[in-house]
Structure 1
């Protein structure tokens, strides 16, 4: 049975997309007008008012209007700084930084190292998430250990990595300080909880009766996971990987402590180069070149990260479909 909101807004996929594009176009025009006259506060007011109007259109009465209006305040806090950041960039300076080989190395490292960290988080985190979803004695202790990096200060996370894996640590032959493996270890430490928790929620959403039916019909535990549990939870696992990657891209404190500058193989130059993780490089650029130069580099990093993030989201959306596990 359709809900009241579904009856009041009978839109198919194309119509919904058209409405979204229309709303975005109006918002961009309003922001451009407010920015042109030098009063971005006007756009903040417009956003709140337009959200209230959408609440009226939802036909949920005063409740819908109140929820949309109050919720739009957070959108102002998130969206307005981002819009102003993009609008105040100098195209010529951004283009200059885009042609800088040093920036190319930073952008590559800023995507590549987080990818390795996300892959490690999924490789070892998915089996852990599977068992957490099933439950076992002492689970609360393990859950606390998994979530601990979420509350550990970033610089402290870097110190923990040095104590755990540096000289005299768990792997004496592994060089951690100032190396790519050290950077990946630091990024994995801070990002693994996102991969584990998202995968765990995906496993918990799988109907136990489907797995039971597979086992009754003779499927082994591995076959049940590969044919039933895995395909049903794969979108959650991918989401966890994306969140872990995004968290790694933004990490500063742990990387600054463990691997301030690292040497790695750069395919575009076919040789080993030295570069910094993107957030560290942006911070150094800010100290040395000021807000404009650091903003240009940050704009490039934001564009690359957003493009990859949106592409993965699109590939794992309902319209794109998923193929399950091989």
Structure 2
């Protein structure tokens, strides 16, 4: 069979053009930017989330570096929004940001500090809200506004580098497999059980939260992505002491958390007990808008789902501490 030379050349050209266009369309691009506070300093340790607008899916998440920079790589051409969150700042959102066939460098993004929290810190404590050392990041909760109206899970969702998924799984810098400890002790709970416990733990009972990306060898157990240690407040006064806490918030539904802590302390021994009750009802809306293309047509599929979940939790904790010396218990 003899083919027309012109037809043959045209066919070859079309095939080559198709594959070159396909390869070009599959190229991945990057998105980068720089963060500063409105009053001047570099904004480091800010959680930066890249969200695909079409389905509200978090594509990538990271923390800004010490020089305030962030970089998302291997991105498909799409339309995104960028969300900036962290303890001590006002949540910010940037977008829509369109990624086509070129990498994109954003102008400097300026963030606003949470003024109320900064006043609280400057009055009540000389320590920084977030302290970063070589081996860990420490969030100071005691004597700050973080200790009011929050749960332990709320604090983790706002901590730099941490992501709490809908099923309760905790990720550190986008990696799952995080070990969570309470006062240096492993919890041995499933993701959902741990989320329930943290959701019913009042932030007023927390002294600080330690986040370690490279935990010590003695803690290198089930978690490979890092370790979170939630440290409880301890009353140092001798004799019998007790604290009652109550928080409530009203959105679409009422959210309430109450707690009671008591302890009996002598010079060497401290006996304590903690009870928490949480009644939280949450409402969620999920919108999905998908575009499906075929050889001959393009169709759009829209889907919306509404959900209401109610969590009624009772948690108890009791124990005894024996002080061997000033540094060991």
TM-score under structure 2 length normalisation: 0.18
- Which structure is higher in strand share? 2
Q: Which has the higher contact order (CA 8 A, sep 6+)?
A: 1
TM-score under structure 1 length normalisation: 0.18
